[in-house]
Structure 1
Amino acid sequence: MAVEKAKAVGIKVEMLVVGDDVGVGREKAGKVGRRGIAGTVLVHKITGALAATGASLKDVYEVGKLTAENIVSVGASLDHVHVPGRAPPDPNSSEGLKYEELEIGMGIHNEPGSGRAKVELPELVKRMLTQLLDQNDKDRAFLNVNSNEVVLLINNLGGVSVLELGGITAEVVGQLEKTYNIKPVRILAGTYMTSLNGLGFSISLLNVVNTNIGGPNAPSEASGWTAPIKKETWEAKNTETRSGSAKSEEEVEPSGLKLDADTTKTVLTAGLKRLIAAEPDVTRYDTVVGDGDCGIGLKRGAEAYPETSS
């Protein structure tokens, strides 16, 4: 509609449709085609940066088209978005997601994805990257990401905390390198395209072999634009060494304390198991007076001791 209105008043325009989502494959998408999700943001950024230099409409359109053809994205969410003023869906209905259930491939408007599952983050990221990169999946092999220059965008759908988004980004970067030998030249992680308060995220990969890496790097005053991280910055290790030495040479006088290892192990195991069992109460009390994470934190620490799982 906007294109037709512009043409009607003599403005020269081009329409570029972005369909980067691989969550729904060729067969299911049918004649409707692929959906556009967070990869659209990269198209906007690159074409916007080029337009700001005074490039022609033709050049901006061609670069935008080339960029759109080199992006693949997939999302996942723990829940459907809740539109303000409307009651949330019945959790017992087939439409709502069950507790701790994820929908992989969900669109930003609650469009259904490829399936639902109860999985931890590493397995979820593994499945999402498989949909993005598996060339044997002919239903979803839209792009062969074989470039040494790949831009990674991790997009917050609106309800993910900064801490969680950092953990998600680290997991994705780690699996890309370990499984696919891909080291992104730029990493973007932030809230770029939301689904209001969507409890999920999406992964986008841009193959920049034939496009301009300067687009994502170009400065922007948009409040929602989180600057990209260079590969060198991400991979930089802390090389500082501790100065001075511990006072290990000081003589330590024996305390004379006698300790039975078996008894200590038995008591420690029993105590940790009781701590695990008390997690719901500790969580409930901490929810009243704090942020509700004390119980689960203590439980995870206790479960790290091998004997508590036997």
Structure 2
Amino acid sequence: MKKLVNSPSLVVREMLEGIARTAPHVGVLGDENVLVRKGLPAPPQRSVAVISGGGSGHEPAHGGYVGQGMLSAAVCGEVFTSPPTDAVLAAIRASAGPNGALLIVKNYTGDRLNFGLAAELARSVGIPVEIVIVADDVSLRGRTERHQRRGIAGTVLVHKIAGAAAARGDALAQVAAIARSVAENLGTMGVALDGCTLPGAEQAGFRLAENEIELGMGIHGEKGVERTVPLPARELAETLLANIIDELALKSGERVALLVNGLGATPEMELAIIMRDAFESLNRRGIAVERAWTGTFLSALDMPGCSISLLRLDDARIALLDADTEARAWPGVGTLNLQIRVEPADGGSSLLADDGAPQVPGGSEVWEPRLKPAFDAVAHALLQNEALFTDLDTRAGDGDLGASMSRAAHAILAVPQGALVTPHGALAALGAALRRAIAGSSGPFYATALLRASRTLAAHAEPGARDWAAAMRSAAAAITELGGAKPGDRTMLDALAPAVDAFENGLNAGQPVGEAWAAAVLAAGQGAHNTAHMTPRAGRASYLGERAKGSPDGGAVVVACWLKALQPYIGAA
């Protein structure tokens, strides 16, 4: 398995040195794999030290939370392995004074043993030490008692609150009591979409099939409570929350902090969707989300998946969550945006109608029954070929062409019939619809082309074939001006330009309109085919150069597709 490492045996040490290099308030403690706060006062003046840690591979935990207002030190074992007792003891000696140290330990046997022994050794030399065990995983609540459950991502909230309590000068017993109270009012449940791979391993420790997810997965790849089929984000968030809410016995009217945590390979896009759905679920239940954070806080190497944590809040806990910290991985105060929708400014009277389409005067009843079926045929052709467009774009681009054309098709089908009473009005409405529906480059290209063609037809109440040909010519020119491409650059123009030429040449030769259009369709298809042998000189495919050869340009194939879809409606009446 490909990893950006030098040697699997050195990953932890080299990682810690990299973290410290960009965190001036943090240092690596001698030869131990410990990150510790720099610049601590002399031992008699030190507040309670808050120390945590465990196996590495959970970054940014635990080293990312070292700093004033959070952790005094983080003890980092090998990947997914508890740190040795001596490393924990070294962290206590380096950061604690007479006021003592609080050890925050996730509920794993190795961590409990090594942190526990280190605490005894520290006490034996006169350093007061308290231990708080975090067992926030609710997934196995029907099978095990609370004290036997795992500690997972909610531990980060314990770090934050305990660190803030220590920073304001609370005594060790008080800091420990606050941390224990937080741990008792905290619940987390996660889901894995696949396994994770340790440095040096050839493959992931386990794999989930394409039609499987693991509910309740642990942060080291431990099995969860249920293997099931993938669920939409909304249902998944609901499932995780239902278990947490039931465990904490949360009622309507209570306040919570919400933490949506990525497990290492989950895009921010997906985490944001989970946050959206979790917030809405809690809101429907009457549970007030007072603070919320989304991101990767405690990962499992490169595992795809997430966890949701809820912490019951009161004013005291909110104040500690809001307190300042210099820990580099803490994202700051998790203030909620309760009003996320901003209404657009009133455009007043303009060229745009309420639906965003240009207003067009006049019209007749003849054009709508002619244009509507033709537009619908184009839309259906785009939908039928979505997979082809995606495949072609994946080979030379970012793979979004199929989805863009699907959105275009639905936008075409939704163009109101009232906008189709004049040819130029229909093209303007279609351009406005595609402008809103299609992201990326296709939207601006098609919208600009259609608006230019609309202006070309505006002088003709009943445009003929030559007027339509002129509109097509102006559309192609608009695309050239906007994108800078020309025929031969392996773009949509390599299908559109020869089609325009063929249509005009056919009309000039006296061919019936239907025959001239058939020639245009043939020319477009041949032009699209020829792009397979062209080196791209414009667009994203140009980054690939010669490697893009071998398959036709997706944009050109789309043009050939909709031109052919129009063929039964050209010159038929």
Using structure 2 for the length normalisation, give the TM-score: 0.46
Q: In 1, Cα distance between the equivalents of 2:181 and 2:390?
A: 51
Three-state SS of the structure 2 residue aligned to 1:3 is: helix
Question: Which residue does 1:274 correspond to in 2?
Answer: 384
1:236-284 superposed Cα distances (whole Å, 9 cap, x missing partner)? 54256324332369761427635347734762463144223xx1x4333
**1:116 paired to 2:227:** yes
State the Cα deviation string for residues 58-106 of structure 1 (Å, max 9, x = none): 110000000100011100111111112102248xxxx521014211110
For residues 316 and 127 of structure 2, the distance between their equivalents in structure 1, rounded to whole angstroms, comes to 27
Distance 2:291 2:317 in 1: 12
Q: Tell me if the contact between 2:263 and 2:304 (Cα under 8 Å) persists in the aligned partners.
A: yes
Counterpart of 2:192, as a letter, is S
* Structural RMSD (CA): 2.9
Q: Do structure 1's residue 213 and structure 2's residue 318 form an aligned pair? A: yes
Give the Cα separation in 2 of the matches to 1:208 and 1:201.
22
In structure 1, the partner of 2:272 is: 166
Counterparts in 2 of 1:205 and 1:32: CA distance versus 1, 3 Å: closer
Q: Which amino acid aligns with 1:241?
A: A
Equivalent residues of 2:379, 2:413 under 8 A apart: no
Instruction: Please show how residues 99-114 of structure 1 align to structure 2 within 5 Å.
Output: 99-114=210-225
Distance 1:7 1:46, change over 3 A: same
The answer to whether the Cα contact below 8 Å between 2:186 and 2:312 also exists between their aligned partners in 1 is yes
* Count of residue pairs the alignment pairs up: 290
C-alpha distance in 2 between matches for 1:175 and 1:62: 31
Label 1:128 to 1:236 Cα distance change in 2 as closer, same or farther (>3 A).
same
| Deviation (angstroms), 1:205 | 0.5
Alignment correspondent of 1:244: 348
- CA drift at 1:42: 0.3
Instruction: Give the letter for the 2:224 counterpart.
Output: G
SS where residue 83 of structure 1 aligns?
coil
* 1:21 aligned residue: 137
Q: Which residue of 1 aligns with 2:79?
A: none
- Report how far residue 213 of structure 1 moved: 0.7
Q: 1:8 aligns with which of 120, 124, 135?
A: 124
Aligned partner letter, 1:282: F
Q: Deviations over 1:87-131 (max 9, x none)?
A: 2248xxxx5210142111101011111112222211111211121
Who is 2:94 aligned against? none
Partner of 1:137: none
Question: How far does the alpha carbon of each residue in 1:4-57 deviate from its partner, in whole angstroms, 9 at most, with x for none?
Answer: 332233210001000111111242x36971111111000000000110111100
Partner of 2:446: none
* Contact 2:375 2:412 survives alignment (8 Å): no
- Offset at 1:167? 1.6
Structure 2 portions without partners, runs of 5+: 1-113, 354-358, 415-573
Cα distance, 1:129–1:248 mapped onto 2, change above 3 Å: closer
| Closer, same or farther: CA 151–257 of 1 in aligned 2, 3 Å | same
- Check conservation: 2:378, 2:409, Cα contact below 8 A: no
Give yes or no for contact 1:67–1:211 (8 Å, CA) kept in 2. Answer: no
SS at match of 2:321: helix
Does 2:186 match 1:67?
no
2:309 alignment partner, SS class? strand
Contact 1:75 1:106 in 2 (8 A): yes
* Pairing partner for 2:298 from 193, 197, 213: 193
Letter of the 1:4 partner, please give it. E
Mapped to 1, the partners of 2:334 and 2:371 lie a distance apart of: 50
Structure having the larger proportion of residues in helix: 2
Q: CA deviation at 1:3?
A: 1.6
Q: Is the 8 A contact 1:189 1:228 kept in 2?
A: no
- Superposed, 1:140-179 pairs within 5 Å as 141=247, 143-146=248-251, 148-178=254-284
Give the aligned residue type for 1:39.
Answer: G
Show CA shifts across 1:121-151 (max 9, x none): 11111211121123xxxxxx3x112253211
**Higher mean Cα deviation, 101-110 or 212-221?**
212-221
Unaligned runs of 5+ in 1: 135-140
Shift in Å, 1:306: 9.4
Assess if the C-alpha contact under 8 Å between 2:237 and 2:277 holds in 1.
yes
Cα distance in 2 for partners of 1:300, 1:116 equals 34
Structure 2 CA distance for aligned equivalents of residues 265 and 181 of structure 1? 47
Judge which range, 57-66 or 144-153, deviates more. 144-153
Contact 1:191 1:224 (C-alpha < 8 Å) held by counterparts:
no
Structure with the bigger RCO (C-alpha within 8 Å, sep 6+) is 1
Aligned residues: percent identity?
33
